[in-house]
Structure 1
Amino acid sequence: MNQKLKSAVKILVFVLVLLLPVQSMAQVMKTTIDLPLRARASSTSTKLGVIPKGTEINIDRTTGNWVLTAYAGKAGYSGLKYLTPTANTEMCAVTTDLRLRSGPGTSYASLLKIPKHTPIPVFERQGNWIKTVWSGKIGWVGVKYTKTMIEMPQLQITLQTSFRTGPGSSYSRIGYVPRSAIIPVLGTSGNWVKSWYFGRIGWISRSYLAQPMTSGFRTQALPDLSGFSNHELNWDYTKTATLSAFPELGGAYRYEDNAVHLTFDCGYENGYTAQYLDVLKANGLRARFYVTGFFIKTEPELVRRMLAEGHEVGNHTDIHPDSVALMEQSPQLVYDDMVGWEELFHDATGSYPSTWFYRAPSGIYSERTLALVQWMGYQSEFWEVALDDWNPQKQMTQEATMHVLKRDTKPGSIVLLHCVSSTNIKILQEYIDWIHAQSWTIATP
């Protein structure tokens, strides 16, 4: 074949590739560094801002080694290789040792080889090829050598167990996988199974695995929730007069009594929770604390103190996800997150909760998520009074805080205060005194 003909063939192949249908994947990824957001897909382009390490971002599409995303109200481009999968990332697993190529075709250069059973994120589909990233390299793999996680063999956790970096108890613990979670089998080594759970790859002992069960408490088949809408609703405490918390599904944002109901959300510790407990104890009061799995893992002594002093501890989920987005993928993921919290609570306290209250992360919910939560035995508790108090870097003044609380609190109100707030702890005693001055009581859970 002469040189001119070769060149013509190359051009024709290039044009045909461009004409192949391209399907961009709406993905969620997490930054592994403080990642610049740039105006264009270039490292020399204007920097629009910096996305903090550990932030989950939505990816609209990919352009070469860059992704189009948005952060803090600005749209721009960030480097794909500095992103890692999350629980909400669409994944597939390679079924053989598979070459990652620089383009969507076997004629493109091989960048490296991805080991068999490795989970990889799906960013884009072009013909029979998938764009992905692995080991810091961005490239393409053939669809026929991959399977979705659902297509992989499945096993179920029989008792909460450690998720480890390698096939043995001597390897470091990545985290825990809760009882009843269903996981894909990516590989085996002796008595250990390689798997993927909530954005992490690790190993689990076969001693805690069985074929998926369909009966028994917390292991029974999930109900059919298709009759409930999964349309996202965001609880807006400024419009409670026009909203419903779906009381038929166990949702409440106020109670019909003469008491004020104090609740506290604890996502992580910021140095003030013990002080909140001190104030409540000094006033002979009890409250309900909604804590995340992260809070339980990092502050088990505070959780035990809450219970010892008569407070209730409610389920604020394990990882504080967008439950509606998780439900869109699978009710099992929402269920697993709830059960994961229960197992962490059991590990920290030696027992399961004696009361069952749930608070939706960020107030995001749907009829379907409430239906599942109610089926699990929980009451969903929202709020009638809340503050812009969850960001430690943007605290309201004491005067502004008291103004909102006095304006919005009335008999029957459920009040939400965040434990990370440095302002709330300063005004808590004043607020308690003000409630009593109105001749109202403070409810005992």
Structure 2
Amino acid sequence: MSKMPNYTSTTNACKLCKPLGASLAFRGIEGCVPFLHGSQGCATYMRRYIISHFNEPIDIASSSLGEKHAVYGGSANLKLGLKNVTAKYSPEIIGVATTCLTETIGDNVPMILNEYKEEFADENSPLVVHVSTPSYAGTHMEGFLAATRATVEQLSGPAAKHEKINVFSGFISTADIRYLKDVCEDFGIEYSLMPDYSDTLDGPALNEYPLVPKGGTPLDDIRKMGGAKASIELGSTLPGQTAGTVLRDKYGVQLYQAGLPIGIRETDAFMDLLTKISGKPMPEKYIGARGRLIDAMVDGHKYISGKRAVVYGEEDLVVGVAALLAEIGVKPVLCASGGHSGKFEESIATVLEGLDCAMPIVKEDVDFFDIEHLAREEKVDMVVGHSKGYSFARKMEIPMIRVGFPIHDRVGGQRILHLGYHGAQGLFDLITNTVIAKKQSDSPIGYSYM
């Protein structure tokens, strides 16, 4: 392998900004309006980016700081912005996330919010939660997890013991969220899933635009999370401090952490966990789905066995997809992410253990310049990831399987099911048919029968 080029710039980052992730998490809370303390451009960019993937409108408020606020601070603008949002939207809660500008100038947001509460709040005012999310110090995934943790820290409290299970799903698609809800219900588990943007970012067509869409994790559920029977937190590269660890350390809520259930082995582990918590065996519908998936893998193995893939995106998603690829006979020769948890390589090694797959090249904190360079070296047959990798897949003339976020050049990115046996079945069919279509289009005779 040739040496990587020596440069210090970032070319087409394989990550998005931290407050964007926080905005998505806040959107999954009932009655919440995301609010960015920073320039108007940040909110405009994030709205446009999120809308392009979800094909749903989203309002993100802003304190709209300008040049003078970089010198004198943004306290007045933040207070005025909160007053305006309260008057226009009548939200139940406002989620305030900082940006590069306000973190750089050093605005003391907790102090400003305390002043706002003393000066303007009354018993009818919305709740306000806040999270520190400077883009120069993290990714959208880190912002998402930080906002979830901050909301639990600031809203939950001591609560009477109850039978609900807290489910912290991580950053997944709206279809994945609905799948987790169905699985919990099929096991007879009462749950509080957070954040839940399955309706707020993938709702039905309406005659009138709601300023605050219905759906999201109920505030009362968040307040009572400290009394839950247990918490399940999905993700194999989670930081040391999460919403689940907060509830464990403050209120003694038992915490189970597991990787995203993508592919057979990871889904098996997740189903075993639900069986342990609920005391009930895996429902027949999932036993049947698992059997059909294995049958499909046997049927299609000859078309994809030995193919080589590059996988990129959020670390947890890449870990799960790499496991699925190895299970179906595709070699994930390069796993890459713009994240930098420090747990990426170890997590990849863990999910591939025992499978007929050599350890791939694993790169964190990389951009698409790095990924393209390594992909050319490894002579890959397919690209698996979100739309930001399309340009290099096109240049290399290799097929692309779209998963994760953001998907800007296809319809339905928010409805891709990645989790469980059903998600693995859909991804297997998509991957196999993409390989067949590539071979078919490259054939001089364009055969029509396999």
TM-score by length of 2: 0.32
Of the two, which has the highest radius of gyration?
1
TM-score by length of 1: 0.32
Structure having the higher strand fraction is: 1
